[in-house]
Amino acid sequence: MKTAKKNYIFIVDHIPANTPYNRRPGLPLVPEYITVHSTGNPGSTARQERAWLINPANKRTASWHICIDEREAVEAIPLGEVAWHAGDGGNGPGNRKSIAIEICESGDRVKTLENAAELVAELLRRLNLGTERLRRHWDWSRKACPRILMADNWAGWEKFKLEVEKRLNNPESTSGSTNLTGTAKPKNPANLTNTGSKPAVRETLPQIQHRVEGTLDGRPLKFEAYLINNTTYVPLRPLIEALGLQLKWMEGKYHIVTAASNQNK
């Protein structure tokens, strides 16, 4: 069976933790909802919206997780951290429990909305949630947003939710990532790390990411974990090494060995 390719490029380009006006507060987010916005700017692309988040002229405490246009999606805040977008206050469920998707108002509207529906379906799939967990900015604080879907008493919003539902029910036709659904494991864990200094352009999917930090017998323990279908995955090697052990690949499987016994070999 032919599998359709994703129609947009996914770019991870996080704003710095010290971005002014507390736009990236670093508070942990366990997403229970996805909130849909539109940018309110008919001229800006996803990259331009990302640039605005760190523009000195921007004086607002407002941010988002992923902005998507006709060609690209840009992730500006990790999906395991809070962004300020819902207008329901510092402890409101919109801000504290939802991922913010900004849909660009520039470019080819049909294509942009298709991309957004695909992205939102993929996120719901990853979070093991259904379309009943979709929210408009309007739902949290009665802001007229996403305004591009407001006409005719939100007819566009109802259509958008149907498009998401279609993709959730039939992922093969819209996405190459079906190996990540159900009980399947990620096919290539190497995709989960970004080792380069440039923003990572991922072939596949956004990650729900959490930082894990602590100490173990005085040793600092720090790595990133990923939430996929309600299961937290951690990279094996940093965890094993933090425990003072080593990981060796031998004869087709991983062996956990102590650092001491390894030295004797």
Distance set, CA 107 to CA 50, 66, 160 (Å): 16, 17, 18
Backbone angles phi, psi at 118, to 5 degrees: -65, -45
Q: Is residue 136 within the footprint of Zn ion (CB under 5 A)? A: no
Q: Which of residues 34-63 bind Zn ion (CB under 5 A)?
A: 37
Nearest distance from C-beta of residue 144 to Zn ion, angstroms: 9
Both structure tokens of 229: 């279908």
- Of 76-84, 138-146, 153-161, 166-174, the segment contacting Zn ion by CB under 5 A is 138-146
What are the distances in angstroms from CA 129 to CA 32, 90, 95, 125, 237?
Answer: 8, 24, 18, 6, 30
Q: DSSP state, 20?
A: T
Q: Rule CB under 5 A: is residue 65 a binding residue for Zn ion?
A: no
Stretch that binds Zn ion, among 134-142, 154-162, 169-177, 187-195 (CB under 5 A): 134-142
Among all chains, which residue has been given the structure tokens 């052990």? 245
On whether the CB atoms of residues 70 and 107 are closer than 8 A, the answer is: yes
Which of 137, 161, 167, 202 contacts Zn ion by CB under 5 A?
A: 137
Taking CB under 5 A as the binding criterion, the range among 143-151, 190-198, 218-226, 245-253 that sits at the site for Zn ion is: 143-151
The residue behind tokens 């604080």 is: 141
Among 46, 53, 145, 148, binds Zn ion (CB under 5 A): 145
Q: Which is nearer to Zn ion, 149 or 228 (CB)?
A: 149
Smaller CB separation from Zn ion, 98 or 174: 98
- Which C-beta is closer to Zn ion: that of 76 or that of 145? 145
CA-based Rg of the chain, rounded to a whole angstrom? 20
Residue position matching structure tokens 């690209």 = 72
Q: Please, what is the minimum distance in Å from the beta carbon of residue 147 to Zn ion? A: 8
